Chain A
Amino acid sequence: MKALKKVIHNLDPKFEKGGKWEKMYPLYETLSTFLFTPKHVTKKGAHIRDGVDLKRTMFMVIIALVPCLLFGIYNTGHWHYELQSYLNPEQYAGYSDYLTGFGDKVVYGLIQVLPLVIVSYAAGLGAEFIFGFIRGHGLHEGFLVSGLLIPLTMPADVPLWMVAVATVFAVVIGKEVFGGTGMNILNVALTARAFLFFAYPTAMSGDKVWKSGTKEVMAENGGLMPDGSSGATALGDLATFVGDSPSVAGEALSASASNGALLDKFQAAYDPIHAFIGMIPGSVGETSTLAVLIGAGILLFTGVASWRIILSFFAGGFVFGLLMNGISANAYMDMPAFYHLIIGGFAFGAVFMATDPVTASQTQYGKLWYGFLGGGLAVLIRVLNPAYPEGVMLAILFMNVMAPLIDHYVVQANIKRRQKRFKTA
């Protein structure tokens, strides 16, 4: 270790101003600070510099994302073979069981998901390096996390070039335009997802993308889904409760069926325990609330994420879910409120997206408001707008924009309170 450190520090002068490889400084700085804490020392004022700098903070988030990634890989494989088992019942007998064919599912998942991760990192780091060279600084750390978040928020079947385009868009328009890491208004990973969602809706939503390989299976089956299978997510199914022709897991139900009967069918198809563990189709990393909570534990234990945001986000979703139960105009509104927290990307958004320290509220009270309103808005968008079955992405982006406003009012209220105290004293 010490020897390596010595080698690197001996290289220092060559990269500094006037050195031989001055132009390569951004590259060098990136790599050297990745291995060792930078040797910057505060020279003026009484500032304390923690050894845990941004790179190490970001690394904690990556570690916290690993459970989601691993589960996502397996889940992708599972739903692929589940669909295959409808088409070739003999060859894939029992594959609709969650744990049968473990090896096959892991291998397929890896083949589908790893390229997404690699492309996302390559495209994003490429864009960051270009801006780093132009502006003369090293690679900014923020993208280490965004690069892993982006593939986790996509359906596993999304074409790789779309991931690259969306990543470059998010890095350049979402971040570099505003001045780079720490200056962005919107969460970078969600910007990439929102871009794809609006630019290529057929690849990002509907009921043909959530199970990997749906297109191939349909092509083999004469353009139709195999009998008895469904490609929709739980949220996609729920959205039909608002429309005219409700269906659960591909099975059409009569529109006249009572709300209670619809919900019973739904709960049978998406058992809460399964939904909590994540055994439902969806974007790569979002399905498992369990894996997300393990990640949340790591983030909270290391003090990287704010418990205020996570807790209030869940609280907001639950309270607005109850509110919808109170209105209960259709089957969707009647759904038990806790379901909102375990299906779709709600938990993933609450733990990994809403807590982004750059785009969230900065004040303590502001964080509570920010999380609560974000969670509530996510449920509102889900329930009231069937065109957007998943509301978490839009809710968090909207709250990102509102965060400075929330902070402003919190700070003003604090000033007023203290002025009052000063007057009465």
Chain B
Amino acid sequence: MMDRMYISPAYEVVRDAARCTTCRLCEQQCANGVHAFDVRTGRMTADNGRCVNCHRCVCMCPTHALKIVRSDDVYPENANWDAQTVNEVYRQADSGGVLLSSMGNPKPQPIFWDRLLINASQVTNPSIDPLREPMETRLFLGKRTAKIERDKNGKLKNTLAPGLTLEVPILFSAMSYGSISYNAHACLARAAEELGTYYNTGEGGLHRDFYRYSRNTIVQVASGRFGVFKDYLGKAAAIEIKMGQGAKPGIGGHLPGMKLTADVSETRMIPQGTDAISPAPHHDIYSIEDLRQLVCSLKEATEYRKPVIVKVAAVHNAAAIASGIARSGADIIAIDGYRGGTGAAPTRIRDNVGIPIELALAQVDQRLRDEGIRDEVSLIAGGSIRSSADVVKAIALGADACYIGTAALLALGCHLCRSCHTGLCNWGIATQRPELVARLDPDVGSRRLVNLVTAWKREIQEMMGGMGINSIEALRGNRLMLRGVGLTDRELDILGVRYAGENM
């Protein structure tokens, strides 16, 4: 028996010899070392075993000589023991380690977004043309529990708690400096500013260069408290307490030491080259009353001028958890579904822990309404929102706005190879290697993010107009605008939605 089991590569690099000019660009572009020039034969070779299928070489090849295909090498066919499952057993028998993965759960569990359909006006009321009429996507996040008080002239006083103003119901979700690159952060910050929305620092602190985007910055306070100090809280529009993340509910973060460069180390305020491991729980929060203390401490530290977001992973009793958070003094709850992305997570946790955002969101919104406390908090849904249609459906289910992470990275070039944890991102996103980071041009990247969100905004406006709704606020929780297909009674019940074809 061999010590290490050979695992045949999942993908093969196919090179069209007639087109290849041996320019060696692929070799230079691949940080994984797949491509090499064979001096003897004068031809390019490929080591398929190193290929993660990030498509960098395919996209860059000037003569389109490359493609990546699924390997047709097969194990004996077995519906129970598929090749990936078998390979994972081999890998763990080799290493004795926990399997690591990146980005969101790729398994074929049901995607409820795709089983929800949106309404449109016909005859009895008119649709509205967003090209000709105002179509409002502006909204506010925060508490809406204002008391009606008047000054001596009878004018209403502003008794609202501080909140966030968004021109579009989409925010960039938390991705730390360290897990993603300096340039990726620059792209997100600049795009957020231009779009009138927010990006989120994640748990890795805030690089001083980005202090100037403070009006569009949400800073995160996670269990490791990396990079948290007075200036950090001061340079934020809102503070997010990260209790959990959809990709890895119940565990902390893990940034491999090789991604902890000097600059990342300074921003995170931990030694260079060490693994940055944030604890599974916050060790000052073992219960809901402890959360309330942290919410209040952060508000105290920022003189009650900033809203506090509490981010939780969607888990089985999400509704009860949200009810507790809504009474904790927090202004906004961010719920992250089990398909949310990550820079590194144990595979088993990513693929098996947590619940879909659609179900969690529907239950949380309904629970907060049943308890009469929906105005205590705004809701942000994330993990995973893939298109403008998902955004519309999320808002109709009850979200105030949506976090996007994976979609934003795709806009920057990510091809979902799910290898962020290796730190060798050929697209310059999930890496700290200067030569790779330099590939992501913040001018280009921020423009692509602005394009993406602008395109989604237009599509949201079209769908709203079709429903005869001209303010995003009249869509929030408007579940009669949704119908289900291919869902059981139980699923419809949990979603609070009727079946397609059922009357109003």
The answer to whether A and B belong to the same complex is no
Task: Write the residues of chain A forming the contact surface with B, with a CB cutoff of 8 angstroms.
Answer: none
